[in-house]
Structure formats: C-alpha cells, structure tokens
C-alpha cells in the first residue's frame, strides 16, 4: 500500500486540525505525519494569542492535545522552516508539505507617527502578556492615558488587559513578569477608537459584554455616537449579533459613573489621522466620520485630538513570507486555490499546500481553521499523482538530519514535561499554570529528563 509521508509546518490549530482530519479521512493509502513548529511548544496563537483571562478558549488546547496524544503524529518543536529545515530537505523526505504558519505580525496602519516611542503594535503587546519567548520581557506601562485603535476582538483584548486590575489576572496563566508589570501600570484611561459606528463593530457579544464586568473600571460611551442612519438601523433589526452588541452598548449610555480608578472610553466614527509627538507619543489626532449611506463612512472634516502617551494599533494581523514559497505581499498570504499553492503564473506548485490563517488571511476564529483544513486535506488526498517522490522517506532519516545539524528540537514527550512543569509551578502558587517564557528554559525543561551530553532526546 502506498504511504503518504506528510510534513506540516506550524503546530497551531490549523496544522493540528489538518493532521487530525487526514488521519480520520477515508483514503486508500497509509499516512505518516511530522509536524514542525518553530516554537518549543505547540498550539500557536491559542497559547500565544488568546487572552489569558479566556480560560474556556485556552481550553481548546485540550482538544488539540488529544489529537497529538493519539501517538500518530511526530512533533518537532524548536525547528524553524527556512533555517533548520528547507524546502529541499522536505522534498527529500516527504511526499508533500502543508504550510500552516499563521500570522504573527501587526498589519500596518498607514498614518504618520507610528514610529514614535509609545506607539505599539497589538501583536507585540499580546506576545508580551501571553509570554511569547521571542518578545521583550519588559513592557513600558508608565502611561496614564492610552489609545487603542481598532474595533475587533483583539482591540478589546488589549483594552481589557490594560484596564483590568492585575490581581484579577493572577489566577490565570500569565507569567510572573507580566503580573508584576501590569501591577505597576499607571494607566487610568483607555480610549478605544473605531472608524465606523456602533452597528459596524467587529466585536463578538461575549467579549464586548466583558468590558462592562471589570472591577473598578467605568465604561464610557458618548451619546453623539449613537445617531444611527437607516443602514445601521436595518443592520440592528436584521442581524442578531449586531442587535445584541447594540443592546450592550446602549445599556452603557445610562450607566452612572462609579468613580472607579480606571475608565474605558469607546469612541466611534473616528478615523485615525496621526499620532502626534516629538520623540514620544503625546496625542492622537482623528477625523470624525459619518455613514456614507452604503455601509461605509466618509470624513466630516471635523478634526479632534486627544492627549495620550501611548497608542496600541490593533488593526489586524499579517502573514509573513516563507523562504522558497510563493507569497502574496498585498494580502499577507500564501497564494492558493482551495489550499493548493499556486505560483505567479497561477500554476499549481506540486506537493505544496497551505491551511489556516496563512491560507486565507488572519480573520476568523479557531473553529474556522477546521473547515479550512478539510478543504486542504481533500486536495492533498485527491492530488496523489502530483506528490513528490522522496529519496529518503524513512522516518529515522529526519531525526538524523536535525541531529546532524545540531538542531535542539523538542518532541511530544518534551511538551508533556514542559506542560507538567508549568502546571506544577502554577499549583505551587494556587494558579492554573505559570508559563515558562525564555526559549532556552522551555527547551531545557522539555528535554531535561532524558537529555544527554550528546544532544536532544531521541524519542518522540
Ligand atoms: C490576539 C488574538 C486573540 C485571539 N483570540 C481568539 C479567541 O478568543 N477565540 C478564537 O476562536 N480565536 C481567537 N483568535 C484567532 C485564532 O488564534 C486563530 O484563528 C488561529 O490561531 C489561527 O490558526 P493558525 O494555525 O492558522 O495560526 P497560528 O495559531 O498562528 O499557528 C501558526 C503556527 O506556525 C508556527 N510557525 C510560523 N512560522 C513558522 C516557520 N517558519 N517554521 C515553523 N513554524 C512556524 C507558529 O509559531 C505558530 O505556532 C485570536 C487571535 C489573536 C491574534
């Protein structure tokens, strides 16, 4: 019977769901799957993006872990595609590769002043509070007034984390340095800006409602933002989600101030124009907008400024190019037709597939990566005639290759050790988990039990 030796690059939800779907799919061949991940731990943005105070969503890790625990997938963590393993290597050892490398960077906000001190991308801040090993351990939180630009759930995560009392995050898995940083934060006012109106926000109701439930935080909305046009009224009447969002927002219009020590202001109809300051951020300038009657907005010419000392740009994520793989730099994705990667001439690149955020762009929830993976896997299966013919398909050849290059990879047993270690650190402090942050420490804990002077663990 033929065997499909498949490499998947990226152990976020998209990569893991793809492996799971392939293993369960009806097919006429055997499969052997190796999952390569540049971080020492799996789960992508579920571990390093989803907010720590969302334990229910973080719990999706348990379902992903069950897939890995079937023992039918080998995990190679701490292995960067493009440096530790190349396309030529993959062609030598596998029949095909699926790229599931997601998106980690901030999309650009094309206004002046984004280079000033105190102007941050949301992705950097998220990576800090979620303990990503490749980001600085310290975060400057000495500013009193801050702006968050964006009207999606990431903007809400950022605003909530900035406004929430640090002690209310202590039961979560935030690393110790993050708790201490947030505890020292001087923030008093968080201003969230959206270009459009309350009926066009991209929040989800649960996340919006949470803002109003924070201890010692007053949520402030402005009556002038609620003069709705016919298109907004129609959206509220016909779309249940918008109806609920609107109800939540309206309930805050009549709320009395409690004199809380922090305030979270929501501003709508505000188009970003410029971040002002000499060296560091001093203010945010925006133009009031109004509905254009077709679901969009136009500027009114009314310019406003608000004093802030920091600006967080939460206007979306963006994918990164992968060495030797076609890239659409306009949309930040690997160009593809239903997961089959295509080149500049629209021709299929044989043996190369994509799934998840790098396939369709950084929008959508974790669950969406499952339907993505179904489509990609269907094409991998149907494409058998176009698979590569590897010279060295033997499973042991890959571990030998990585060892010969001195790559200190982690594996599934290693992840189990790290997981247990983090849970034990948490238990000792009466917390869910305490994340290990430095990469070397993650690798050391993962590989410790069987580590030898010769290098990393051999089992997997
Ligand atoms: C801040 C934030 C909060 C979110 N909150 C929620 C939420 O509450 N609920 C929800 O449903 N969704 C949420 N999402 C969306 C969710 O995280 C995504 O839908 C999902 O993670 C996308 O999965 P993915 O596997 O495509 O990408 P990712 O999760 O990004 O995984 C990609 C993986 O590939 C690895 N990788 C990248 N390049 C390489 C390389 N060259 N070599 C090896 N490995 C590589 C990365 O390290 C990463 O582990 C959130 C997203 C963000 C940004």
Three-state secondary structure readout of 21-37: HHHHCCCCCEEEEEEEC
Among 332, 366, 410, the mutation site with the greatest number of ligand 1 atoms within 8 A of its Cβ is 366
* pLDDT tens digits, 231-253: 889 989 999 999 999 999 999 99
Say how many Å lie between the first and final Cα of the chain, rounded.
25
Pick the atom of ligand 1 nearest to 36's CA: 43
pLDDT of residue 449: 60
* pLDDT tens digits, 384-432: 999 999 999 999 999 999 999 999 999 999 999 999 999 999 999 888 8
Among 52, 64, 102, the mutation site with the greatest number of ligand 1 atoms within 8 A of its Cβ is 102
Backbone angles phi, psi at 100, to 5 degrees: -130, 55
Please tell me the distance from the alpha carbon of residue 221 to that of residue 227, in angstroms, as a whole number: 13
Q: What is the mean pLDDT of residues 59-84?
A: 95
* pLDDT tens digits, 114-161: 999 999 999 999 999 999 999 989 999 999 999 999 999 999 999 999
The band of 296, judged by pLDDT with boundaries at 50, 70 and 90, is confident
Pick the atom of ligand 1 nearest to 42's CA: 49
CA of 358 to the centre of ligand 1 (A): 9
Q: Which residues line ligand 1 (CB under 6 A)?
A: 9-15, 36-39, 44-46, 49-50, 54, 57, 80-82, 100-102, 126, 154, 157, 317, 322, 356-357, 364-366, 369
pLDDT of residue 432: 84
């Amino acid at each position: 019977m033929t065997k499909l030796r498949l490499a998947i690059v990226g152990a976020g939800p998209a990569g893991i769901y793809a492996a799971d779907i392939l293993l369960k799919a009806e097919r006429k061949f055997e499969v052997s799957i190796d999952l390569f991940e540049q971080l020492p731990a799996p789960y992508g943005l579920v571990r390093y993006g989803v907010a720590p105070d969302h334990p229910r969503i973080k719990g999706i890790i348990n379902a992903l872990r069950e897939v890995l625990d079937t023992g039918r997938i080998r995990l190679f963590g701490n292995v960067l595609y493009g440096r530790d393993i190349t396309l030529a290597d993959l062609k030598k050892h596998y029949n095909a590769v699926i790229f599931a490398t997601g998106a980690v960077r901030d999309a650009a906000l094309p206004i002046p002043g984004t280079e000033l001190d105190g102007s941050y991308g949301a992705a950097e801040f998220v990576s800090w509070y979620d303990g990503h090993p490749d980001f600085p351990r310290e975060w400057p939180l000495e500013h009193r007034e801050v702006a968050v630009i964006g009207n999606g759930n990431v903007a809400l995560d950022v605003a909530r984390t900035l406004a929430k009392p640090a002690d209310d995050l202590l039961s979560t898995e935030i690393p110790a340095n993050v708790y201490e940083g947030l505890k020292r934060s001087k923030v008093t006012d968080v201003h969230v800006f959206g270009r459009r109106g309350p009926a066009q926000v991209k929040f989800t109701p649960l996340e919006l409602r949470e803002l109003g439930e924070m201890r010692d935080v007053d949520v402030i909305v402005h009556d002038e933002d609620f003069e709705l046009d016919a298109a907004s009224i129609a959206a509220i009447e016909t779309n249940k989600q918008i109806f609920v969002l609107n109800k939540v927002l309206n309930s805050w219009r009549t709320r009395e101030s409690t004199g809380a020590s922090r305030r979270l202001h929501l501003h709508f109809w505000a188009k970003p124009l410029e971040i002002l300051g000499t060296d560091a951020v001093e203010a945010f300038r925006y133009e009031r907008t109004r509905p254009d009657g077709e679901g969009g907005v136009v500027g009114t010419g009314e310019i406003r400024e608000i004093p802030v000392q920091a600006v967080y740009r939460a206007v979306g994520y963006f994918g990164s190019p992968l060495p030797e793989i076609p890239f659409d730099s306009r949309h930040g994705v690997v160009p593809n037709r239903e997961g089959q990667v295509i080149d500049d001439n629209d021709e299929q690149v044989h043996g190369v597939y994509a799934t998840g955020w790098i396939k369709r762009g950084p929008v959508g929830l974790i669950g969406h990566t499952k339907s993505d993976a179904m489509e990609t896997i269907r094409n991998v299966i149907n494409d058998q005639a176009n698979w590569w013919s590897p010279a060295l398909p033997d499973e042991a050849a890959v571990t030998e290759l990585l060892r010969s290059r001195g790559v200190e990879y982690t594996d599934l047993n290693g992840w189990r050790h790290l997981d247990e270690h983090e849970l034990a650190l948490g238990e000792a402090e009466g917390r869910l988990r305490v994340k290990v942050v430095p990469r070397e420490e993650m690798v050391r804990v993962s590989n410790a039990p069987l580590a030898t002077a010769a290098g990393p663990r051999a089992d997997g």
